[in-house]
């Protein structure tokens, strides 16, 4: 399942992610904060050039 990363310290980003989840996008996507373990694992294990922006 694709992951949508968002800035968990940004009020706008956080609230938008919550809105997306509440409106059913969590059925097609997973959500992860850029400050969380999921994002840190991605950044540690893949070169920056391989991460789609």
Domain ranges of the chain: 3-50
DSSP 19: H
Separation between Cα atoms, residue 20 and residue 49, nearest integer Å: 28
- The SS3 call for residue 42 is helix
Q: Does the pTM exceed 0.95?
A: no
Asked if 30 and 2 touch (Cβ cutoff 8 Å), the reply is: yes
pLDDT at 49 over 60: no
Residue pair 34/5 in contact (Cβ under 8 Å)? The answer is yes
Average pLDDT over every residue of 1-15:
93
Q: What digits encode the pLDDT tens for the residues 19-34?
A: 999 999 989 999 999 9
């Amino acid at each position: 399942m694709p992951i949508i990363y968002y800035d968990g310290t940004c009020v706008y980003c956080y609230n938008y992610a919550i809105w997306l989840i509440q409106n059913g996008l969590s059925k097609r996507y997973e959500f992860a904060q850029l400050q969380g373990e999921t994002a840190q694992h991605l950044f540690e294990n893949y070169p920056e050039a391989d991460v789609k922006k």
